[in-house]
Amino acid sequence: MRVESRFKQVLALLLVFALVAAMAVGCAQPDEPDEPDTDEVEVPTIDFRAAMVTDVGGLGDRTFNDGTYEGLLWAERELGIEIRALESNEIADYEPNIDQLAAAGFDVIFTVGFLMTDTTAAKAPEYPDIVFGGIDQFLEDPGPNEVGLLFKEHEAAYLAGVLAGLVTLDQDFDERVNDQNTIAFIGGMDIPPVERFEVGFIAGAKSVNPDVEILVLYAGSFDDQARGRELALSAIDQGADVVFGVAGLSGLGSITAAQERGALFIGVDVDQYLTVEGSGDVMLTSAIKRLDVAVFETIKSAVEGTFVGGQNRVFGLAEDGVGLAPFHDFDDAVTQEMRDAIEEARQGVLDGTVVVPETRDEL
């Protein structure tokens, strides 16, 4: 009986241990699932295609065409669309490039540059199911599938002019600043967007330095680096210590001239400190146009079915569509006085107390 009793005790203990173990297993927390690797998450691809037809400068100009292409890349990354760019080597390429993209089934086509205004107006009605965005184009009577995308270049240039007008007075700013009180504007072709850059720059410089001399030179094209270099060298030899280049590929030659001859440079359209490798030693800042924003917003509205055509959209300081790039390597050199003057000018434009001229007649 004693053995039987001890056996019963042992058996009871074993049953208790078994129950406890079972409860422990039942109450145990399940293994946490592995966190997804967000780096591997891809934006779903959608059946939507957007493209651009470049101006004659083509991709690689590190300003205007490249800035537009950045908007396409942004849309590709964020919206999952398919993109393409066709380059124009000459004006005669505009129409066949548009026809090629239309035949390939693209939903949005950007025609890049003022010189394509007439082409956009002629071709967009032929393809009413395709959205056309005309970069730097004021469309006289845009159809429901057309939008002109314009910028207040003069507002960005005004701020750049304020900086240039003050820098050329301050020989302590940089050893390349001389006592000539002279700056220069190098343009590509004399067309309205470039004219707006020119007069805004002059107005801004004169607002803080009434006696400054501003040399204005035009290359006659946007794709002649040798000519851009030649003009900038000429301006620097005439005393210009700050050069503002608004000339596409031609402007790259002006950057080279500034490095060779010892002058400072202001870039255009995009932050050229980032797009022109090795330019940081001369690149004060850049007068930027948010081409990428205009392109991305147009594509996004078309994807979402909210696109509104038949209009010209204008991007200025108030819309964060233009402005100045950072000072980068010159951040320590730009004085608080210069920063305050730029900010005062910006606020003046925003509140209407400063009206920046757009044409030489208004200057």
In the chain, the domains with their CATH numbers are 49-151+293-303+308-314 (3.40.50.2300), 154-289+332-362 (3.40.50.2300)
Q: Could you list the mean pLDDT of each consecutive 10-residue stretch along the chain, which spans 363 residues?
A: 35 38 36 38 78 93 94 98 96 97 98 97 98 98 98 98 98 98 98 98 98 98 96 98 96 98 98 97 98 97 98 96 98 98 98 98 96
| Angstrom distance (rounded) from CA 150 to CA 313 | 6
Q: Identify the three-state secondary structure at position 286.
A: strand
> Tokens 């060779």 identify what position?
260
pLDDT value at residue 45: 81
pLDDT value at residue 43: 57
| Angstrom distance (rounded) from CA 258 to CA 26 | 76
Longest dimension (CA), the chain: 122
pLDDT value at residue 57: 84
| Angstrom distance (rounded) from CA 266 to CA 264 | 7
Q: Shortest CA distance to 214 belongs to which of 237, 194, 244?
A: 244
| Angstrom distance (rounded) from CA 114 to CA 323 | 20
- The structure's pTM equals 0.85
| Angstrom distance (rounded) from CA 279 to CA 176 | 15
pLDDT value at residue 42: 59
Q: What is the bridge-based pairing of β-strands 264-269 and 240-246?
A: parallel
